[in-house]
Amino acid sequence: MPPDGSLIYAGRKRPADTPDDAARKFVVWARAVGVTGAHSARTICALYWECAEADHRRPVSDARLLAELEVTPGIRVGPSEVDRRKRVWTIEPADAQLALPLAASEPEEAAAEPARRRSRPVARFQSEREFESQQLLQANAHFARRQGRARKQRGSRDMRWAAA
């Protein structure tokens, strides 16, 4: 984080971090500020916006940050006891990570823990040659043209509401 009174604050905000860096910086910042403990996703996002403001950066989107926080060391995610649909995000204090005793029989498992990450599906561009047939392309184009015509025939929303 830049110190108070730094020249960075006089200019435009710095570009956003990658979601991985943003999640890691957020955990360090939260521990330094002392906001460890259980929080809702809304509170986590609000705290992250404060962290990005303190770092004078544009924030990463909430969805990307939460997806990365799930696999970041120092954060635990569990179901809420009050509402089954919600989850509780727990920021662990820094000493909790150091206080974990390592058994003599598990050194390789503990060393492999940070490397374990869940893979997320990556949306990738499909070029036209990867489609199965020309008929599929023509059908999609026809459907798009048909939807465009239907939208034009209905008229604007104001015109439809005025007639009613």
Predicted pLDDT of residue 26: 93
**Predicted pLDDT at 123:** 52
- The residues of the chain scoring below 70 in pLDDT are 1-2, 4-5, 8, 96-135, 148-164
- Per the document, the length of the chain is 164
What local confidence, expressed as pLDDT, does residue 101 receive? 52
Report yes or no: 81 and 56 within 8 Å, Cβ to Cβ. Answer: no
Residues 7-97, CATH architecture: Orthogonal Bundle (1.10)
Nearest of 46, 49, 44, 51 to residue 67 by alpha carbon: 44
In this structure, the number of other CB atoms found within 10 A of the CB of residue 69 comes to 23
Q: What is the pLDDT of residue 104?
A: 47
The domains of the chain are located at: 7-97, 128-163
